[in-house]
Structures are given as C-alpha cells and as structure tokens.
Amino acid sequence: MMKPALTLFLAAPRGFCAGVDRAVKIVEMSLEKWGAPVYVRHEIVHNKFVVDTLAAKGAVFVEELDECPVDRPVIFSAHGVPKAVPAEAERRNMIYVDATCPLVSKVHLEAERHAEEGLQIVMIGHKGHPEVIGTMGQLPEGEVLLIETAADVATLEVRDPEKLAWITQTTLSVDDTAEVVAALQARFPSLVGPGKDDICYATTNRQAAVKALAEKIEALLVIGAPNSSNSKRLVEVGRNAGCAVSHLVERASEIQWEALEGLTKVGLTAGASAPQVLVDEVIEAFRDRYDLTVELVETAKERIEFKTPRIFRHDN
C-alpha cells in the first residue's frame, strides 16, 4: 500500500540552547569528577528524557537541599535558585555547582542592581515556575512583585510609582510580554526597563522560527515537556500565527495521528530543553507512515556557547 505524501517542515533553530547544553554537561562532568551519586536540586532542565538519562548515569533528583547528604556534591538547576539555597549549602559545608543559565543570572544581577538604586521591581512571569522563584528569591520579600498578564497591571499595588523597574522570566512569549510591558509603561511612565530584553535569545529565535513555519504548514508539533515554559509558549505562538492544530508532545508515541489525517504540510520544532534524539525519533515516526520529504526552515544561526564552571576547568 502506498504511503501518503507529506512534507515535514523542520524549524531551525530548535532544541537545546546553550544554557541547557551547559547544564546537562555540568551534571555529566560532576559524575565524571566525583562519581555517582551526585544530587541535583530540581530537574536540571524541564525534560523527562534528559532527566531519566542522567538518572541512569547516577544523578539523583530532589526538590530541596535537605534531601541531599552533606558528603555528596549537589547541582543547582538551569532555572536558578533563591539566594538562601547556596547560603544553606555553604553553611552545611557542601560541595555545590551552580548550573543556572548565565542569561537567568543576568536577570538576577539586574534585579539586585535595581534594588541597590532604591527601585521596587515588577517581574513578568509565571507564578510557581522555578525560574521565577529563583529570581524573586534574590531579594527580600516584597521587593519583587509578580504579574502574569496585562490585566494584572491595573490591580498592581506598588510602594512608589516613581521608583519602579521591570524584569521578565527568560522563557516568555515575546508578543505577550510586549503587551504587558506596554500596559506597565502606560500606568507607570517612570518605569525603568532592562538595557536589553530579558527574554533569552534562544526563546526569541525559536518563536521567530515557528512564525516562519506557520506560513507554510497546516499543523505544528512542538517536542517538549508539559512543565517546560518555553515549549508551551511555542505551541501558543503557533496557534496565534494561524496554525490551529498546534500540539505539544514529549515523544513520538504521543503524536495524535488522527489530527493530522489528510494533511500534507506539518511543522516540527523542539523546545530549548528537548534533545535532538527526540526530534530524530519523531521524524522516523513520520517516515514510517508517510512518503516523507523533510524541508529545513532556518531563520537564525546560533553559535553561542557558555563556559562550564571553573571547578571543572582547573584541578580542584
């Protein structure tokens, strides 16, 4: 029986960003340096396949520092942690490695700089997300106010409307964030913003690639975890760009083939914490069912690399 023809439009950039790549390497290098087990506070990145792969090598994932023995190394996830966490690790004389993405660390430093200048900070982000908890935890309670949508701006209670700054979670929708910032600026004309957008280059690039894909396709698949903020934003960007069938899948086994029936043009991308092996798995699943053509849609080239911590670069 002849397979139906289908073109799979593959987004580039997609998948691992420099911060995720660095964080995964830090766990692997820790296992090489100290042997198993090494402990990781929170999922190193939001991807079950990555976490399970590292767990099989000897990484133990926990939610809080008090679950870690003092005589084994602990790694802090790419999302960042409140200041109290490394302080507690030092108090317990633990070896710890901070795998916080450097672009998240940049936002932490921005928040501290604004606070030193006497500004209260408004953070645009998702309540309960580890990155938001980590960023807000850089300063005393009440110094960082969290909002999620433009509608939240109207009810925001601030200490002094003349002394405000805004920062954002790095994995938000570029378009949605612009709307929230506009609402903030309309209500607080003296609002101070970051020198450069806090939304990271990888998030921005992956969203731009999805917008380019949306012009060519009838359906979009985003490979990523349900707790991955940047992956969920890619699904939303696809829908907002006119691609009504826009689905998040963790693995090829989750593809809803019936939703793709009769279609001939499907887009494929992957969130910043999804490895290429899962992209290859999905492509092969399509190849099994279709007479497949794969076409690359490239909107940017990423050459950024982040150095691993000094503890791995010298004889420590």
Query: Mind telling me the catalytic residues?
Result: 131
Instruction: State the Cα–Cα distance between residues 54 and 24, nearest whole angstrom.
Output: 8
Residues 6+ apart with CB under 8 A from 176: 149, 236
Q: How many angstroms separate the Cα of 190 from the Cα of each of 163, 184, 187?
A: 7, 10, 9
Closest CA to 158 of 143, 137, 173: 143
Cα-atom radius of gyration of the chain, to the nearest Å? 21
